[in-house]
Homo-oligomer: A and B are copies of this chain.
Amino acid sequence: MSKPFSVLGKPTPREDALFKVTGKMDYLADMTMPGMLFGKLVRSPYPNARVVRIDATAALALPGVKAVVTAADMPNRKIGFRFDNRPLHTKVSCVGDAVAAVAAVDEETAREAAELVQVEYEPLPGVFDPEQAMEPTSPLVHTEQWMDVAGKQVVPRTNNIAVHYHFEHGDPDAALKQCDVVVEEKFTVPFVTTATMETHATLSVWDPAGNLTVYTPTQAPHLFQKEMAEALGISGAKVRVIGTPIGGSFGKNLEAHPFEIVTAVLARKTGRPVKMSFTRQEEFIGSRPRQPHVMYVKTGATKDGKLQVRVCRAILDNGSYNSWGALTPLVTMQSFTSMYQVPHSRYDGYVVYTNNPYSGSMRGYGNPEAVWAIEQSMDMLAEKLGMDPIEFRLKNVNQENEVTPQGMKITTCNMDKCIEVAAERIGFKAKRGEQKQPLRGVGLASLIHVGGGARIYKSDGSGMIVKLDDFGRVTVLSGASDMGQGSDTTMAMIVAEELGVSVDDIRMVSRDTALVPWDTGVHATRATFVCGNAARLAAQECKRQLLAAASEQLGIPADDLDVRDRMVFQKSNPKNRTAYDKIVRGLHFRQNGNVIIGHAFYDPPTEMQDSQYMGNISATYLFGAQAAEVEIDPDTGRVKVLKIVAVHDVGTVLNPPSLEGQVDGGVMMGIGYALQEELKLDQGQILNATFREYGFPSVLDAVPVEKVFLEGGDPLGPFGAKGIGEPATVPTAAAIANAVADALGVRITDAPITPEKVLKALRQRAEQSPQVATAEE
């Protein structure tokens, strides 16, 4: 596509880059306020226990301690996505549940005081395996269910199934019988955590009029405002949320957490600002991991290579409470029913309570899990059909103008092209064929993901206000939340492009509920598409005002004027031009003067899914494919990723380095998911709560990532763009698993593919003729 852009498409440093590389970025942990106290939680070492007694005498006697709070100090309201949690507990359901909290003049005193709080527990038997937890004889993690924040409609619980998602399309059972090949397999993915550089932190300040300001690295300030208000039993009108720079989030800051509510209560009680931040160990224990899944998948095809049916029964370890993470089966379901054309499907997702740490939302939100199973199944089907796995996929790709079984209306779609390019660039055919080398393999996986908003809340919109000052400086009060993905820069580029100015002229202000128009928050890869459209519309309004002013000042009809590269010019005589800021001052500095302000709210044409999970949830869908080449070390069992090719349909490239960074980061996260990362639990206790032991990929593990961006231009996207945030990490692990299977001749279906599992598979292969097998530890 030819690019008429003067700003977009050109490599543009992120506005926070200089701050970060020079160490000048002040995170919440750096913030101080006059009179500020530090809070600390007293956490349960038991996964399931009743609190018998709390004695705060010694803690309160420590000089500098200003308050100790327990559950009795908390508003009598349940919290969390399904109202099953409390800020502080009298009965704990997982290790790390807090039973009390302290506030003291400095962090060290707070820590010491927390240790001085004497808590007597009565330990209870727990349940730690989700499949076991589903059995009727299993002890109940919760005995009742609240239907809303006020505790109305308390329903007794009879089992540990927090939610059951069920969707069926066509006649999957009949279809399975009619298939020529059927693959049945169990796939598992583990607990993994975001392991962000910044640990959880919050700062609460009440003003004398009873207004609360919360400083937080949230991804979704407006939803956070509502959650905090509900948890505290006050109106949302009383709560202001100010987003602080995010040192990594990936979903962990999508919702309010118990410690944030506790901190607000400590601040209210002491009448002083209170800050709380987690140690690294607390972060492992108290941050929300990605759900472990067990997926029993049956899938079948006819010998012509047409996919016929896909059935999945998924069990998710929810841990002790529901968070937004309990909603991830909606995404998993979409991939099982709608990724590749599959006429018959059934998805059953069981979100099951255990006494493990409770899981949350994390980049991809159920989709890397789904693709781990789906794309391995595709390879297995192809193998059974004796068909090239690329050819098999291409026979079944999604198409433009398709409506999927769940009612998702696909508009633009480059899935075939993504797969073809990824396969070609990795050298798929050759490396599987005559160039096949022992213990080397190639694999591929693709994806479908929402990319034009995702109406999971009553509004899917975003707003922007754009204001110009006398120096031409443009302030954007932006609904978009930059969580490190660079959306502030993308929004600035969109406004600059539309308004004909430079990115340096733009100042982004975002993530302050008092200042910026409403936005759902960053999730579902929506910022570029939804917020980008709002930014463009608001900038268009400013441009209209600018050209009207120029028309009056220059005596040229507005429709013969345009603005580009900071100059207003006459279209019919481009040499006739004036600096845009001069026009702005000309409008302002006169009698009856005016200033330029524009605003817009963009709500994408999306539908909320109905109770049958039907609805066009997004205004566009994202496609992509990644291919991996791996090599196995036969001595250590280590899988070395030699290369990743990542091909994504992005509509239009807005900021090349930002896009590339998203893909590099997503791929690295996928490599960790495939090969290394697992939060290891024993009876609810995390065994590897340090960076060293958890072992996510570091820069030393970085691999070459060849990035290809397909640009078709989405008709609804801003300047044709779609998002990329989550998709970049969705197919990586599955592509690697397929490559490992190709290298080993043995398929390992439970992530991560650790050296131990590989060595076991190598032994297995040596013992028997190579064939597909499930590696089990």
Contacts and interface: CB of A to CB of B under 8 A. Distances in A.
A597 interface: yes
Nearest to A477: B515
A24 B515 contact: no
A15 B504 CA distance: 36
A593 B459 CA distance: 7
Interface string A57-74: 000000000000000000
Contacts of A606: 591
A479 to B, nearest CB: 9
Given A467-B465, A515-B475, A209 B18 contact: yes
Contacts of A507: 240, 514
Contacts of A590: 458-459
A595 interface: yes
Contact of A517 (B226, B458, B595, B601): B595
A311 to B, nearest CB: 33
Interface stretch (A26-34, A182-190, A485-493): A26-34
Interface in A487-531: 504-505, 507, 509, 513-515, 517-518
Interface in A29-86: 30-34
A180 interface: no
Q: Which of A31, A517, A595, A605 has the most CB of B within 10 A?
A: A595
Contacts of A208: 18-19, 22, 24
Contact of A30 (B34, B477, B603): B34
A461 interface: yes
Q: How large is the interface on A (under 10, 10 to 19, 20 to 34, 35 or more residues)?
A: 35 or more
A662 to B, nearest CB: 22
Nearest to A589: B458
Contacts of A552: none
A236 interface: yes
A166 interface: no
B588 A594 contact: no
Interface string A85-102: 000000000000000000
A235 B601 CA distance: 31
B237 A471 contact: yes
A222 B33 CA distance: 27
B595 A518 contact: yes
A209 B489 CA distance: 14
Contact of A601 (B475, B515, B593): B593
A459 B236 contact: no
A473 interface: yes
Given A24-B208, A235-B471, A463 B514 contact: no
A469 B236 contact: yes
Contacts of A470: 222, 226, 236, 518
Interface in A721-753: none
Q: Which 9 pairs between the two chains have the least Cβ-Cβ distance?
A: A458-B589, A18-B208, A237-B471, A236-B471, A237-B473, A30-B34, A593-B603, A597-B599, A22-B208
Given A459-B590, A461-B595, A517-B597, 8 more contacts: A24-B208, A237-B472, A458-B590, A469-B513, A475-B514, A509-B515, A518-B588, A591-B606
